[in-house]
């Protein structure tokens, strides 16, 4: 293979290396400084590149964060795949919620940045789920499990599936928001059991 033939591959590898370095640096800066306080120049300095180089890859700070979110989406999907194979719907829900909480717990600082960026829940919910990658995946898995539970007579069928899906999603978001606002001091994953129990059994004694 000639040098001319190898050059595009080397260039693409270098370009990807720069992109990854910028995203890694941005993730650190965002979690340390907060999304609104972070500056592109700080991201560039942490990545060891010129500020102009960062803008060559990403048009704005929002584009950087969206790229980080997309990268997290792939990791999230990979970790959730074994859960989707669980046949019993309630067990699948419990395992899924726990996996989501574990994933958020591992990346708690970044999740806090996401909440800061989406300062209004109404803003987030007004967007199509397809524009919120992790939310889209969560709703898909919840829909599959709750739908299977309805089909098997384990979950009431007189309530529309979409309402049930968004109700459990809201319980999950509430638990995560409380965890973040409390300083992420306690473990989040153990909350999964009673979040699902609250959804299935209700709040009555």
Would you state the CATH architecture of domain 1-58?
Orthogonal Bundle (1.10)
pTM for the complete prediction? 0.73
Class of domain 69-201: mainly alpha
Of residues 103 and 165, more confidently modeled: 165
Q: What is the rounded distance in angstroms from the CA atom of residue 82 to the CA atom of residue 96?
A: 9
* Mean pLDDT, residues 46-68: 92
Give the C-alpha separation, 156 to 78, whole Å: 30
Q: Is pLDDT at 10 greater than 50 in this prediction?
A: yes
69-201 shares the fold of 1-58: no
Average pLDDT over residues 86-95: 95
pLDDT value at 173 more than 50: yes
Residue 92 near residue 86, CB atoms below 8 Å: yes
Predicted local confidence at residue 80, as pLDDT:
85
Domain ranges of the chain: 1-58, 69-201
Compute the average pLDDT of residues 85-89. Answer: 93
Q: Which residue has the higher pLDDT, 121 or 54?
A: 54
């Amino acid at each position: 293979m000639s040098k001319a033939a190898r050059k595009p591959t080397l260039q693409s590898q270098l370009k990807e290396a720069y992109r990854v370095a910028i995203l890694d640096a941005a993730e650190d800066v965002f979690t340390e400084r907060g999304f609104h306080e972070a500056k592109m120049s700080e991201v560039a300095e942490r990545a060891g590149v010129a500020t102009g180089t960062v803008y060559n890859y990403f048009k704005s700070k929002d584009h950087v964060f969206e790229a980080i979110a997309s990268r997290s989406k792939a990791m999230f999907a990979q970790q959730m795949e074994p859960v989707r194979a669980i046949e019993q719907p309630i067990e699948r829900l419990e395992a899924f919620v726990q996996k989501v909480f574990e994933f958020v717990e591992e990346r708690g600082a970044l999740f806090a940045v996401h909440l800061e960026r989406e300062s209004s829940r109404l803003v987030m919910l007004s967007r199509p789920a397809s524009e919120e990658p992790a939310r889209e995946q969560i709703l898909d898995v919840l829909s599959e499990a709750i739908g299977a539970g309805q089909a098997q007579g384990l979950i009431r069928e007189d309530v529309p599936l979409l309402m049930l899906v968004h109700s459990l999603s809201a319980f999950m978001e509430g638990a995560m928001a409380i965890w973040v606002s409390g300083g992420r001091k306690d473990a989040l994953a153990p909350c999964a059991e009673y979040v699902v129990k609250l959804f299935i059994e209700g709040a009555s004694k």
